[in-house]
Structure 1
Amino acid sequence: MQNKQKQLQELFAAMSEKGVFNGVFLAADKGEIVFEGAYGLADRETGRALTVHSVFELASVSKTFTAMGILILAEQGKLSLSDFVEQWIPDFPYKGITVKDLLRHTSGLPDYTPLFIKDWDRSKIATNWDVLEYFNVRRPPLQFQPGENWEYTNTGYVLLALLIEKISGLSFAEYMSETLFKPLGMHSTRIHNRRLSGNVPPDFAFGYVYSFETHSYHLPDEQPATDFVVYLDGIQGDGTVNSTLHDLLLWDQALYTEKLVSKKTLDEAFTSGKLPDNKPYSYGYGWIVEQKEHLGKVVSHSGGWPGYSTNLARYTDHGKTAIYLSNTDRQLDIQQQIINEAENILFGLPHSVPDVPAELRSVKIDKTVYMLYRGVYKMDMGLDLSVTTGPEYDQLFIQLSGQPQYEILPLSEERFFVRELQIEIEFAAKKAGKPAHELTLFQYGEHRGVRVT
């Protein structure tokens, strides 16, 4: 164990010194902490350092809690996972979507995030009820018929939070506190919308995004590409759980017990699904479920939101746990490599310290070409990729279905890169000066996307 502690310490210290890790990490074996460490700053304005007790926004790791909130109601007989959403929300215009579809991302509902970035009044902070009203009034089309396919969407978990409120008679925050957090002794965990409430939790880790123009970190609120964190701050269920390393370890350990729900329900939650054609997908009830060589069954969830990169991995065949919380989102691909190497150390596998690639540099181009690239592209991996411009038409953004939005910067008039990730995109048109008809995304190979709108 001491050797693993030393190796993990060396890994995270090296990545911190290289400027690509600012956060906290914990590894445990059967509930016993093997290693924990904190690196960097929680508040860059004051110079306050991170600690292993710092509170982070969890982003989509929050979905693991929302799913459990629903499963508790189901075990209490207050709803069934086979219930249709319209049974609980009578005016809901999309018929035939079950609670299970929302849990498993098989509803076909489009993700609200790009829709609100495009349509929402940015002077107001949106809430879950605003999301429901948007879908009731504007009725964006389904991606597919309910249960027929799988596509990750934050909208489903917003609706699950509304169901919890309607059925329990409590606010989502009150329900989660009384039903999950307090019973498990997770005293530093809460549902919290910092900008909407105006309150900052004690020992809070502010999230920062990196500006390649100033070569420094800023709050995402201050950057045009990420200021949606302000007007989407009131939405719950898909994110907004705030927690700590130690509370997340309590959560992990509780899932080996029947403190909240039965073993039968937990087994269902930790089982990946199948589509009607028997094609499998790696998602249970609020958890990604995978079988990995040397690691066995891995039940996990990651999260990404401007300023935060999070990951909770449970290696249930071995009783091991890895919790990664970062409050910067520069070079996110490197952060995944750090997680992979920490995982290797935890399992005694060969490991190394990841190399940090040189930064790409953007060039000046005629930005009127951005209008030629706007649209939705159907990618060969089955996801939709939206390409949009900023309000002044001088910025270009991409967003894969259910994923955060990223600005892309020019390497030439046709080729662009994502500053936070090792991704490049090249647009192609059938004739010069005409709208692009396809694009190629370069990341771990080439992925083609055909323009559909």
Structure 2
Amino acid sequence: MKKSRMEYDKLKRKQKWIGLLFFLIGSLITISIIITVIALYPNELTSLVKTHVTSQSTSSSSTSVDDKPTSTDSSEPLQQTHTFTPRTNFAENTETPLLLKPLKDKLEQDIASRELSGTLLAIKNNQVVMYNSFGYATDVPWKAQESTYMIASIQKFYTALLISTLISENKLSLDTTLNKFFPEIPGSDQITIDSMLSMTSGLKLDTGKAPTSIKTQKDWENYILKTTTHQNSTEWDYSPVNFGLLAMIIEKITGISYADYFNKTVKKPLDLKETGFYTELSDNSHLVPVYEENGTAAKNEIPDYAYVRELGTGNMYTSPKDFAIVVQALMDGRFEDLNNIKAAWLKATPYGTTYYKSGLYRKVLDENGPTIFWGHGIFRGYEPTVIFNNDASDMVIYFSNQYLTNKSNTIATKEFYDIISQNVTFNQ
């Protein structure tokens, strides 16, 4: 009897310890889940808290006759929004989330294995994984977050954004023909805005043959109107003159310069601190100097005629952060109706396995899988490359101050994106 009592007590103690063990395991699992959610989706949680607080505040003050409703619709046109908060937090003192540190480690290892120079901004789930400069881009007295670069052909993305904004304002349509603005261009009655955005218009202009005596925008515009030719073809053919003419159309419709319209529509509403045009360059622009491929500093200043030729196609500078802000704002419907985005941006032109429209290439990785956008440019030693997913929650923005003829910069950017996206491999 005594032995049975002892066995019973022993069993009770064992059950007690087992129960305690299960409790501890359950607690650890719960804590892990909470940490994971906070680490991966802090912005979403913050949004929920703000929404809850706003809801309570609205309910408590709903009896006031003088209260006026305030729209919180994220798709409200940006020009009507008094303040703008970027989707991603770019504060300099923001640490990489714990669960994203392995991605940062992989990026650092990858960068260390290459000979690169530039500034890299990597974003995962709307959070900054890395924002660093390396190579010759560190030979400046300012921080990586302040570094700017000439963005070359990626500016075509901004030009397309301004065009689609005018479409949203019913001042233009994708079917509008070029002869409405510039009938002197050959074949202009057959060329639509849509075909210009997708570079299937047949327009051609050899900018390399333009005389260096052209040093003003007005002279360049006259040169475009006099020397642009047209081939009767709807095949994709990369021809920057399409976007030069789109920039001229923007000026004709708005009555102000391309730069002024960009500043009014994009720069000021988004509070872009590190974005501007070549005419605004100064020591405070923090433009990272260019290095030759052999590692020597480029001593020659960029001549004015080189900038002038890039109207709407590559005479702007910006930072990786500012570029990310613009892309995410576009994807959030801040500029235009989402249906216009689909029409002007997602309906692309076949180009092998890749599609091109509105200044960016688009690639559908598989029939039911993700879609990614990417852009690339080269201008006087600057070589920017950008890659991002459908909603721009995952982004890799690599601006280089050293053009590499072996395509090392573009190859590296694609591999950086492979690391960030984890389960997606981008092979062009």
Structure 1-normalised TM-score?
0.65
The offset of 1:123, in angstroms, is 4.1
Q: Cα RMSD between the aligned structures?
A: 2.9
Residue in structure 1 matched with residue 89 of structure 2 by the alignment:
none
1:306-325 pair list within 5 angstroms: 306-316=380-390, 319-325=393-399
Give the gaps of 5 or more residues in structure 1: 222-226, 352-443, 445-453
- Secondary structure at 1:3 match in 2: helix
Instruction: Provide, for residues 304-324 of structure 1, a one-character-per-residue CA deviation record: whole Å limited to 9, x for no partner.
Output: 112111112111178311111
Deviations 1:402-453 (A, max 9, x none): xxxxxxxxxxxxxxxxxxxxxxxxxxxxxxxxxxxxxxxxxx9xxxxxxxxx
Distance in 2 (CA, whole Å) between partners of 1:37 and 1:72 is: 33
1:216 aligns with 2:311: no
Residue identity opposite 2:412 in structure 1? I
The structure-2 alpha-carbon separation of the partners of 1:281 and 1:22, relative to structure 1 and needing over 3 Å to count, comes to: closer
Q: Judging by fraction of residues, say which structure has more strand.
A: 1
Task: Count how many residue pairs are aligned between Structure 1 and Structure 2.
Answer: 324
Tell me which amino acid in the other structure corresponds to 1:100.
Answer: D
Whether 1:99 and 2:99 are equivalent positions in the alignment is: no
Cα-to-partner distance string for 1:15-48 (whole Å, 9 max, x where unaligned):
2xxxx3111111112321112211134596xx54
Q: Which has the higher helix share?
A: 2
Matches within 5 A, 1:369-384: none
Alpha-carbon distance between aligned partners in 2 of 1:317 and 1:175, rounded to the nearest angstrom: 25
Q: CA deviation at 1:111?
A: 3.6
Which residue of structure 1 aligns with residue 177 of structure 2?
84
Deviation of the 1:262 alpha carbon? 0.8
CA contact (8 A) 1:300 1:314 kept: yes
| Shift in alpha-carbon separation, 1:169–1:230, aligned structure 2, 3 A | closer
1:84 Cα deviation (Å)? 1.5
Letter in 2 for 1:11: D
Kept in 2, the 8 Å contact 1:23–1:327? The answer is yes
Q: Distance in 2 between matches of 1:266 and 1:242?
A: 24
Q: Would the aligned equivalents of 1:109 and 1:156 in 2 still touch at CA under 8 Å?
A: yes
SS in 1 for 2:371: strand
Q: Distance in 1 between matches of 2:378 and 2:389?
A: 21
For the structure 1 residues 332 and 241, does the alpha-carbon distance in structure 2 shift closer, same or farther, using more than 3 Å as the test?
farther
SS of equivalent to 2:378 = strand
Higher relative contact order (CA 8 A, sep 6+): 2
Larger-Rg structure: 2
* Contact 2:236-2:349 at 8 Å conserved across structures: no
Measure the CA separation in 1 of the matches of 2:220 and 2:406: 28
Deviation track 1:290-338 (CA, whole Å, cap 9, x = no partner) reads: 1126972011211111211111211117831111100111344111221
State the alpha-carbon separation in 2 of the partners of residues 237 and 317 from structure 1.
Answer: 25
Matches within 5 A, 1:19-418: 20-42=115-137, 48=141, 51-95=144-188, 96-116=190-210, 120=211, 122-127=212-217, 129-139=218-228, 141-142=229-230, 144-145=231-232, 148-190=234-276, 192-194=277-279, 199-210=282-293, 216-219=296-299, 221=301, 230-234=304-308, 235-274=310-349, 282-292=355-365, 296-316=370-390, 319-348=393-422
Partner of 2:103: 4
> Structure 1 residues 340, 331: closer, same or farther in 2, change over 3 A?
same
TM-score, L = length of structure 2: 0.69
Identity %: 22
Asked if 2 retains the 8 angstrom alpha-carbon contact of 1:41 and 1:50, the reply is no
Give the unaligned 5+ runs of structure 2.
1-99
C-alpha contact 2:354 2:361 (8 A) present in aligned 1: no
How far apart are 1:273 and its partner, in Å?
2.9
Partner-residue secondary structure (3-state), 1:205: coil
